[in-house]
A and B are shown apart, each in its own frame.
Chain A
Amino acid sequence: MSAAITRAAGRRSRPAAHTTGRTPASVPVRGLKGLVLLIACGVVVLPFVGVISTSLADDRQVTRAGGLVLWPDHPSLDAYRAIFAGGMVTRALLVSIGVTAVGTALSLVCTTLLAYGLSRPGSFAHRPLLLTVLFTVLFAPGMIPSYLVVKQLGLLNSYWSLIVPALINGFNVIVMRSFFLDLPQELLDAARIDGAGEWQLLRRVVLPLSKAVIAVVGLFYAVAYWNNYISALLYINDSARWPLQLVLRTYVVDGTTIGVDSAHIAGVVPPPQQSLQMATLVVALVPIAALYPFLQRHFAKGILVGAVKG
């Protein structure tokens, strides 16, 4: 009995090898491929390890290692305590999370509605609207015109100034519209015959079929809101409302001594700056990186839509 099963399994496996048309790679070739993949993974992972390790290392080790530590000798959370001590990083983190969450939700609603409208042939002002969206992809507004618009809308120094100007991104609209255009027309016709209106079509047929593109576009928006510092720089006058990226930029790019501008005058020595900078990077990285695993399964499918359709 068992021999028969083994033979059957053997028979089933042979056609599979035959259809691929490939012979199994030799051990050295497979080893080489594995090595290449390992190096590729290392190239990606090592900078992250370096950032996290440096954030946990002390000044002497950081300096000895030339700025980037791969494994801390005496791990310490001092840098994290320092950046959360004054409360400004905590506050900025909350601002960023709030703006990202609200902004992404609103952007998804607006983008979905616009993209769905533009995907329906014969909808109101279809072509002029589409051309307008395309125009914004090709020609971005300048810094000062944007500032003047935000000012005239009365949004200066408001969190809405971080959301409204970025509410709809032309590229994302086109990606989503392409996805909607790919949905089988027969399905939509069938729903119409069953008496569904446009709202019902969108809510009950289109959106459930579009989870992949919504996930991807949502991720694009979330990353854009999370990383945006220039809007805060220009539109937010009260530093208590600065998002994390602007605070982060101050620390990492300007090399500012965190929290001790004046204190330094009195001889207070801050924790090692590179550790603080790396700790701030980790704090900024973790929330947005945590989103990726949840969206991973939609990502490949969704991203291809924009890649092959225009």
Chain B
Amino acid sequence: MSRSMSRRAVLRSALGVAMAGTVGGGALAGCTTATGTADASADAAVQLPTLVPYTGVKPDLPQTAQGTRPGFFRYPAAPPRFVTEAPASGGTVRAMCTMNTPPVPVGRNRFWQELNTRLGAELTINGAPTLDYVSKFQTVVAGDDLPDTMEVRATTPQLPGLLRAKFQDLSEFVGGDAVKDYPALANIPTESWQTTVYNGGIYGVPLHNPPIKVMTYARADLIAERGLSLDVRTGDEWVQLCREMADPKHNRWAHGSMPSAVTFLCEMLGVPNGWRNDAGTFTKDYEVPEYRKALEVTARMWKEGLIHPDSFTAVGSQKISWISTGTVAMLVGVSTWSNVAMAVRKAEPKARIEPIMPPKYDGGGQARTYLGPAIFSITGLKKASKSRIKEMLRVLNWLQAPFGTEEHRLRVFGVPGRDFTLHGSDPIVTDTGASETTVPTLYIGACPIAHYAAGYPDITRAEYDGEQEALSNAEKWPLAGLYSATDQTQGAVLDKKMLDLQADIITGRKSLRDWDSGVRTWKTTFGDKIRTEYAKAWQKSGGK
């Protein structure tokens, strides 16, 4: 799937990794700090990098103060050079990151060779597929054989201790105006840098990800064909729309994304965004009655046959097929859904995909959409001499070159004439490029994603407008800057249990009474402990 979708998939899969408290915890136990928690007050004092947005290319749709990303109807015709000289001075740059598609080896890969020439060093990548990255990460850390750069996920157990023990504090290199030495890093939104702050320092370079947690989008053309509208005003209207679109006897379903459909309903019902923080009193979303109501509504939809029976298990590519052929009318994805829309359009030229904003369940306007952390992961740098750290930051600066620059075009689309051809100014990847450009640089260093659907300006516009609308009434991520050691080690396991229970209830295997019992168990196992830790972290941070 697309880059952004893949990243989201990684985040979701990371939540399901149950090894955090077992093998992983053991492997990283040696990295635990004395207290086992981060120092929230020191974190609050960290000077974050100064934001200097890149203005070298003019977008068709401007970046907004609320965080809507710039949109480009066409790729800039003459991409400017962003970096004038090779960032590295020979040798090898070793990186470790997610690798979902093994690329053509460097010996036969002109793109990779060109990348090495431009970087001034041989880039070697130790990769692992999304679902297995955690296992690989644990073993490499345990073996104490860290590469120069390493993709570090926020769900890593004992993260503050690990970062302190193994990775470089970058505060003196990128804090405040120092980041201006690396213009691409200065172009990364401040909200992303916030998530790299641990132990009173900046421990890595963020890989930016749009913060909107979920975005529901639908086949607007199919809905219009039936004389219906996406402009639903209440939860009941949305369910009714689903009823109108479903026809199980003919393999037609209204919805194809589970359990994400529950999140959409949670937004409608005003359920907390994971947690609610009322002046230091933390409430988990599971605990509120509105969450129970979201489950009840979804279970009813399931029983009525509105949701595709494989929704829980199908992978992204299957879901693209479903929506392309009209098997499902709507899906839940992320705010960068233009890749899906493009794939659908290719398969079905008259298809039109549009986002649906969640209305308040009982009416009265648009509900608040959820925001999450604005990163995919952190690129940590192994401890090294100052000159080596600066060299690595220059390499990351090259890789993070902004959208529309010559470096970005090379990194994403490959070598002109070989890996892509130009249709107008839009680079269209060739078969060779499809094999060569899978070198996973996007998991090492990648600029903030712009709205861009090559050859489909209407899709760019629709995605841009959808993001703008969602951000206009969004609920911030309540855990920004807060750390709970228990949540880090046990949270994923607990959430997995609750998701399993949720699936059982929706599919009718269990009842809502089981949910009440499950929530009680959640509280008594680790839930209350996590709550207490977040409350303490919030107090330490000065209650901001």
Contacts and interface: CB of A to CB of B under 8 A. Distances in A.
B1 A259 contact: no
A87 B130 CA distance: 21
A62 B321 contact: yes
Interface string B1-32: 11100100100000000000001001100000
Nearest to A247: B102
Given A143-B139, A147-B143, A239-B127, A63 B327 contact: yes
B136 to A, nearest CB: 6
Interface in A105-155: 142-144, 147-148, 151
Interface stretch (A183-191, A267-275, A300-308): A267-275
B435 A85 contact: yes
Nearest to B108: A87
Q: Which of A63, A147, A266 is most buried by chain B, counting CB atoms within 10 A of its CB?
A: A266
Contacts of B56: none
Interface string A249-284: 110011111111111111111001110000000000
A239 B136 contact: no
Interface in A218-245: 230, 233-234, 237-240, 242
A86 B27 contact: no
Contacts of B438: 259-262
Contacts of B138: 143-144
Contact of A255 (B315, B428, B453): B315
B3 A239 contact: no
A66 interface: yes
B426 interface: yes
Contacts of A273: 315, 317-318, 320-321
Contacts of B322: 63
A86 B109 CA distance: 11
B321 A147 contact: no
Contact of B145 (A151, A253, A254, A265): A151
A84 B324 CA distance: 26
Interface residues of A, number: 52
Contact of A144 (B101, B139, B442): B139
A256 B100 contact: yes
Nearest to A249: B129
Contacts of A267: 342, 346, 428, 453-456
B422 to A, nearest CB: 11
Main DSSP-derived SS at the A contact region: helix
Contact of B1 (A60, A233, A256, A272): A256
B416 interface: no
A227 B6 CA distance: 26
Nearest to B336: A265
Contacts of A85: 431, 435
A11 B442 CA distance: 83
Contacts of B251: 64, 66
Q: Chain B contact residues (Cβ within 8 angstroms of A): what range?
A: 35 or more
B317 A257 contact: yes
A181 interface: no
A144 B339 CA distance: 38
B135 to A, nearest CB: 7
B333 to A, nearest CB: 13
A59 interface: yes
A238 B122 CA distance: 13
Given A151-B145, A239-B127, A250-B129, A256 B343 contact: no
A254 B102 CA distance: 13
Interface in B37-68: none
Contact of A88 (B27, B104, B429, B454): B104
B455 to A, nearest CB: 6
Contacts of B3: 261-262, 264-265
A262 B322 CA distance: 22
A147 B139 contact: yes
Contact of B143 (A148, A230, A262, A272): A148
Interface string A54-75: 0000011011101100000000
B435 A87 contact: yes
Nearest to A272: B321
A263 to B, nearest CB: 4
A260 B412 CA distance: 11
Contacts of B428: 266-268
A167 interface: no
Interface of A: 59-60, 62-64, 66-67, 85-88, 91-92, 142-144, 147-148, 151, 156, 230, 233-234, 237-240, 242, 246-247, 249-250, 253-269, 272-274
Query: Which 10 interchain pairs have the tightest Cβ spacing?
Result: A255-B315, A273-B317, A86-B435, A239-B102, A240-B105, A263-B429, A237-B126, A269-B346, A263-B434, A147-B139
Interface of B: 1-3, 6, 9, 23, 26-27, 99-105, 108, 124-132, 135-136, 138-139, 142-143, 145, 251, 310, 314-318, 320-322, 324-325, 327, 339, 342-343, 346-347, 412-414, 420, 426-429, 431, 433-435, 437-438, 440, 442, 452-456
24 contacts: A59-B347, A62-B321, A63-B325, A86-B104, A86-B435, A142-B23, A143-B23, A234-B139, A240-B102, A250-B129, A253-B129, A254-B9, A254-B100, A254-B129, A256-B1, A261-B100, A262-B3, A262-B414, A264-B3, A264-B339, A265-B2, A265-B429, A266-B428, A267-B456
Given A151-B145, A260-B101, 17 more contacts: A59-B325, A67-B310, A85-B431, A87-B435, A88-B435, A142-B23, A144-B26, A144-B143, A147-B139, A147-B143, A255-B317, A258-B101, A263-B433, A265-B454, A267-B453, A267-B456, A274-B318
